[in-house]
Amino acid sequence: MYPDLPGARLTQEQCQVLAGKIPCANALDEAACFQAGCCYDGTDPTTPCYYGNTVTVQCLMDGHFILVVSRDMSAHPIILDSVRLAYAQAGCDPIWMTEAFVVFRFPLTQCGTTVQVIGDKLIYENQLISGIDIQTGPRGSITRDSTFILHARCIYNASDFLPVQVKVFLPPTPAPVIQTGPLRLELRIATDVSYGSYLTERDHPVVKVLRDPVYVEVRILQRTDPNLVLVLHQCWATPSANPLDQPQWPILVDGCPFLGDNYRTQLVPMGPASSELPFPTHHQRFVLSTFAFVDSAQMVLEGLVYIFCSASACSPSQLEPCRTICPSGVTASKSVLSVLSMGVACCWWWFQTHTGCSPGRVLNCPTSCSTA
């Protein structure tokens, strides 16, 4: 948040505008210049008071908002020609744009500004957002830009309409990871729906009849940062150790159960932290129904079946909560802006004929496997 009050002085670095200085509005002398949150250079005869490399908000006594955004306000330049007022109607375009700055000036009662009265104060708020630069290739599209969001607030005295406070809310920098190193994941099978115990090497092979539930968990290993959130992106099955092998069967798609399965995978919500589960956000759980692959001749395939999950570690922020809503209404995890590290976890299953209980195929799972 910057600044809390008018008059906060900018740093020397923020005032190093080498070219294209834009004069600061309503700043007739050095004191007024600093009061407006601008830079002052007494050696410059043409533009001594000018906007710095930051975000400047001015609340004018004549009832106008001024919002100024510098391209170089952060380490990653903003695409200025995509910056716009989030809720504005036509006629609220920038009044000034250069290679380094974009300037908006508009009445407090227009361009999507909201107003509320709290006590003897009038609070006016508006928001700027930007687009992203999308690069399109032969097999997809990418971007390296984050969406810029700026929330501006002007507070006036209701009695005499004097501006008393200016606030700017910028998106925070994602929290840093406490530990560095490779992301190690483990995919393991629980013995029941409580996820209180898991299969071990001694339990191999484990027999399951087709359609029996399989309680799967993917977790981050050797990390103690409580801010990390494990995100499952895709989970799928193949008949070999090659994750690209065919045929494949999707289990999770973009973190959500595959909608084309008549026995749809169920996501299991994680509970609060406990002594048994100190970092619940490091875990993701789901339940799938035991199945067997069928070949093109409609014959059931015997042999190993491998399960793969692609995952990443996400650092939550106000812009990236690391959560999304699946089409079925089930909540899952997501990471778009704050992916810190990625990996793939796998488990392999063996199908054989069950001769004791029922016709059809059964499942033997060896326990768990992990990958770095």
Mean pLDDT by 10 residues, the chain (372 residues): 49 84 86 88 89 88 88 75 83 88 90 85 86 78 74 82 62 52 83 91 71 90 87 86 85 90 92 90 92 82 78 75 66 43 52 34 40 44
Q: What is the pLDDT of residue 212?
A: 85
Task: Report CA-CA distances (Å) from 362 to 240, 281, 359.
Answer: 18, 32, 9
**Residues with Cβ < 8 Å from 261, sequence gap 6 or more?**
250, 251, 289
* CB proximity list for 248: less than 8 A, separation 6 or greater: 236, 237, 238
pLDDT at 9 (0 to 100) = 78
Would you state the pLDDT for residue 246? 86
Task: Spell out the domain ranges in the chain.
Answer: 30-169, 184-371
| pTM for this predicted structure | 0.49
Summarize the chain as % helix, strand, coil (round to 5): 5, 40, 55
Class in CATH terms, 184-371: mainly beta
> Distance from CA of residue 28 to its chain's centroid?
43
What's the start-to-end Cα distance of the chain, in Å? Answer: 39
Q: How far apart are CA 70 and CA 260, in angstroms?
A: 48
d(CA 232, CA 254): 7
Looking at beta carbons, which pairs linking 269-276 to residues 24 or more positions away fall under 8 Å?
Answer: 269/331, 273/226, 276/196
Q: Which CATH class is domain 30-169?
A: mainly beta
- Omega within 30 of 0 (cis) for the link into 205: yes
The amino acid occupying position 18 is: L
What phi, psi does 104 have (nearest 5°)?
Answer: -115, 135
Of how many residues is the chain composed?
A: 372
Same fold, 30-169 and 184-371: yes
Given this model, what pLDDT does residue 135 score?
Answer: 82
